[in-house]
């Protein structure tokens, strides 16, 4: 696709810096609490479509914020829901101040429309975007706004946990693993920082959004990542905090989550990456951003068999041709940032246009992945483990890391590490409160063995034992609970 065609497509989806996105928004009916405040500290923009089962939890987390409702503007924008969302919000309107309910007159087909209505009506010094099925820690908005206010930063990133049917795990660890960072240059950020960039855990100054006419492009997916990456580029520096702020809902029963990764999904993402590539200069931030997102697309459309776009030779060819169409020749090797060997192999096949090679590799690698996962079959070569070797013509793939507890020594455990990654440290983490995490004292015995101090009085059922290595990746330590329970 030539540049003129790209620009036409960008304009159609309201990517560009113009005023069309404002004109195209639907009209709405607005209902407000009896008391609202003219100059709130934080505007919370909530896009909703049929999230009734989750709204009370989300709204409770907002009306109980320690910053106080007098400092908040809660903009609930409903995309013409067909469930009981309106009734739930109206009950909160009658009981609490600071809530503004915007009922759109027609459905916009994605979160971009409601979020853009929120931007146009926000009055706060700071903006956050909260998905209607997620929720905040009660201290989140006070903590986030205070850090930005003290630092003078335009944009902040803070702690997120993912909740799957009540089980919590850390999300976007690069946001907070490095500790508090004030005005960190985005060119210093690792590629792992770009693995998320959804609305969760991010706060930004409203004047940054207004000054650069930032808005969400008119497509169902990739609109949020595009928005927040643009904000990062204009901000140039970001601030990070270490505390938990946001709960990301990933319950199996959550019908608001997209179950379909299909061709439209693929094209939307490539369009977004093309826009970023065309808009911003070549530098390390853009390189790492593009690489991280390309790796994710390679995983979804080169390896996965469980998505809405059926795995086939046709899909592989379409993915390669679409990538070429939107991104052209990429002038760097993205695989230096890829996390797994399988994804690196698929990318190399794509470059060579060996589409049948990907089909064959996928078939064999899927089988050996199952053998490893369910039967524990792996091949060890010196200090590295590999997936089972089933066909000598198929590239062997290293397992990034294995950490195995082999012996108990009073209040220590001897742990062996097999890895091609860089070891950082061992950690103990509370399963119910994953931000309750502590490093363990460690003595290196050999290149592959470590003695790790373990607290004597510990409820094994409440904690995970992990090894943390480069790019914020982690691995549970195998067999340690069995050793400690003896």
Interatomic CA distance for residues 415 and 404, integer angstroms: 6
475: closest CA among 435, 416, 411?
Answer: 416
Same structural domain for residues 325 and 379? Answer: yes
Q: Is the pLDDT of residue 128 over 50?
A: yes
Residue 374 resides in a domain: yes
Residue 283 resides in a domain: yes
Q: Is the pLDDT of residue 415 over 90?
A: yes
pLDDT band at 159 (very low <50, low <70, confident <90, very high): very high
Mean pLDDT of the chain: 94
Interatomic CA distance for residues 318 and 265, integer angstroms: 13
Residue 393 resides in a domain: no
Same structural domain for residues 130 and 217? Answer: yes
- Phi, psi values for residue 203, rounded to 5°: -130, 140
What pLDDT score does 116 carry? 97
- Asked whether 404 and 439 are in contact (CB, 8 A), the reply is no
- Asked whether 222 and 272 are in contact (CB, 8 A), the reply is yes
- Which residue has tokens 């580029």? 233
- Report the helix count and the strand count for the chain, using DSSP H and E: 14, 21
What pLDDT score does 459 carry? 87
pTM value > 0.85: yes
What pLDDT score does 256 carry? 40
For 34-46, the pLDDT digits (tens) are: 999 999 999 999 9
Q: Is the pLDDT of residue 48 over 80?
A: yes
- Asked whether 101 and 117 are in contact (CB, 8 A), the reply is no
What pLDDT score does 259 carry? 57
Sequence-distant (6+) residues with CB within 8 A of 175 are: 157, 158, 159, 160, 193, 196, 201, 240
**Integer Rg of the chain from CA:** 24
User: What is the DSSP secondary structure assignment for residue 78, as one 8-state letter?
Assistant: E
- Which residue has tokens 């940054």? 208
Residue that finishes a domain, picked among 249, 274, 302:
249
Q: What's the whole-number mean pLDDT along residues 56-63?
A: 98
Same structural domain for residues 96 and 201? Answer: yes
pLDDT band at 253 (very low <50, low <70, confident <90, very high): low
- Asked whether 301 and 263 are in contact (CB, 8 A), the reply is no
Beta strand pairing call for 72-78 and 42-48: parallel
Same structural domain for residues 159 and 282? Answer: no
What pLDDT score does 252 carry? 65
Residue 378 resides in a domain: yes
Interatomic CA distance for residues 438 and 330, integer angstroms: 41
Sequence-distant (6+) residues with CB within 8 A of 103 are: 28, 29, 30, 31, 78, 80, 86
What pLDDT score does 257 carry? 42
- How many domains does the chain contain in total? 3
Measured N-to-C along each axis, helices 355-375 and 313-327 cross at an angle, to the nearest 10 degrees, of 110
**Dihedral sign from CA coordinates of 350, 354, 359, 360:** negative
Beta strand pairing call for 442-446 and 401-409: unpaired
CATH code of 416's domain = 2.60.40
Residue 281 resides in a domain: yes
Domain range enclosing 450: 401-484
Q: What's the whole-number mean pLDDT along residues 131-144?
A: 98
Q: What is the dihedral of CA 251, 255, 260, 266, to 10 degrees?
A: -80
Same structural domain for residues 472 and 362? Answer: no
Cα angle value 175/115/257 (rounded, 5°): 70
Same structural domain for residues 45 and 142? Answer: yes
Residue 11 resides in a domain: no
For 141-158, the pLDDT digits (tens) are: 999 999 999 999 999 999
Same structural domain for residues 227 and 267? Answer: no
What pLDDT score does 260 carry? 77
Q: Is the pLDDT of residue 433 over 80?
A: yes
What pLDDT score does 3 carry? 84
Same structural domain for residues 351 and 218? Answer: no
Point out which residues pair with 204 in neighbouring strands. 127, 155
CATH code of 221's domain = 3.90.550.10
Q: Is the pLDDT of residue 334 over 70?
A: yes
Q: Is the pLDDT of residue 471 over 90?
A: no
Same structural domain for residues 382 and 405? Answer: no
Residue that finishes a domain, picked among 249, 271, 300:
249
Same structural domain for residues 334 and 213? Answer: no
Residue that finishes a domain, picked among 185, 220, 249:
249
- Phi, psi values for residue 463, rounded to 5°: -130, 150
Q: What's the whole-number mean pLDDT along residues 374-398?
A: 93
Point out which residues pair with 48 in neighbouring strands. 78
Q: What's the whole-number mean pLDDT along residues 249-253?
A: 78
Residue 392 resides in a domain: no
Sequence-distant (6+) residues with CB within 8 A of 454 are: 411, 412, 413, 428, 440, 465, 484
Same structural domain for residues 180 and 297? Answer: no
Residue 145 resides in a domain: yes
pLDDT band at 455 (very low <50, low <70, confident <90, very high): confident
b/e map 203-241, b = 16+ CB within 10 Å:
bbbbebbeeeebbbbbbebbbbbbbbbbbbbbbebbbbb
Helix (H) or strand (E) holding 186: none
247: closest CA among 355, 136, 86, 404?
Answer: 136
Interatomic CA distance for residues 417 and 12, integer angstroms: 52
What pLDDT score does 425 carry? 96
Q: What's the whole-number mean pLDDT along residues 416-431?
A: 93
What pLDDT score does 304 carry? 94
- Asked whether 361 and 345 are in contact (CB, 8 A), the reply is yes
In the structure encoding, which two tokens stand for residue 353, read together?
A: 């246009």
202: closest CA among 148, 275, 264?
Answer: 148
Same structural domain for residues 377 and 410? Answer: no
CB neighbour class for 247 (10 Å; exposed up to 12, middle 13-18, buried from 19) = buried
């Amino acid at each position: 696709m030539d540049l003129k065609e790209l620009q036409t497509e960008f304009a159609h989806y309201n990517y560009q810096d113009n005023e069309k996105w404002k004109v195209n928004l639907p009209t709405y009916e607005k209902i407000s609490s009896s008391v609202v405040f003219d100059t709130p500290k934080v505007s919370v923009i909530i896009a909703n479509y049929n999230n009734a089962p989750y709204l009370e939890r989300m709204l409770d987390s907002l009306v109980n914020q320690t910053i106080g409702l007098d400092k908040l503007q809660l903009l609930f924008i409903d995309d013409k829901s067909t469930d009981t969302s309106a009734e739930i919000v109206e009950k909160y309107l009658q009981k609490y101040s600071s809530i503004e309910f915007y009922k759109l007159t027609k459905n916009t087909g994605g979160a971009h429309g409601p979020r853009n209505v929120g931007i146009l009506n926000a009055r706060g010094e700071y903006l956050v975007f909260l998905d209607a099925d997620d929720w905040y820690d009660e201290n989140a908005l006070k903590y986030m706004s205070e850090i930005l206010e003290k630092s003078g930063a335009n944009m902040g990133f803070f702690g997120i946990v993912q909740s799957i049917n009540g089980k919590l795990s850390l999300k976007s660890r690069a946001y907070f693993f490095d500790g508090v960072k004030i005005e960190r240059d985005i060119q210093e950020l690792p590629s792992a920082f770009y693995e998320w960039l959804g609305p969760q855990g991010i706060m930004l100054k409203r004047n940054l959004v207004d000054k650069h006419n930032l808005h969400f492009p008119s497509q169902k997916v990739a609109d949020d990542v595009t928005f927040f990456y643009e904000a990062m580029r204009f901000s140039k520096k970001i601030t990070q905090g270490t505390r938990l702020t946001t709960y990301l809902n990933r319950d199996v029963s959550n019908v608001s989550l997209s179950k379909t990764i299909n061709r439209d999904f693929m094209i939307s993402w490539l369009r977004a990456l093309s826009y970023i590539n065309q808009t911003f200069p070549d530098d390390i931030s853009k390189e790492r951003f593009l690489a991280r997102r390309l790796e994710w697309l390679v995983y979804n459309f080169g390896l996965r068999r469980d998505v809405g776009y059926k795995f086939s030779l046709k899909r592989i060819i379409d993915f390669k041709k679409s990538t070429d169409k939107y991104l052209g020749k990429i002038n760097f090797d993205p695989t230096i940032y890829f996390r797994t060997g399988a994804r690196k192999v698929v990318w190399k096949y794509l470059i060579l246009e060996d589409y049948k090679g990907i089909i064959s590799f996928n078939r064999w690698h899927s089988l050996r992945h199952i053998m490893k996962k369910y039967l524990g079959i792996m091949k060890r070569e010196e200090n590295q483990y590999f997936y089972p070797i089933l066909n000598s013509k198929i590239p062997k793939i290293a397992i990034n890391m294995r950490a195995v507890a082999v012996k108990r020594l009073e209040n220590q455990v001897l742990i062996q590490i097999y890895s091609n990654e860089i070891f950082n440290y061992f950690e103990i983490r509370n399963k119910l409160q994953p931000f309750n995490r502590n490093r363990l004292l460690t003595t290196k015995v050999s290149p592959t063995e470590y003695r790790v101090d373990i607290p004597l009085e510990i409820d094994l059922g409440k904690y995970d034992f992990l090894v943390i290595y480069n790019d914020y990746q982690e691995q549970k330590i195998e067999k340690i609970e069995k050793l400690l329970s003896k």
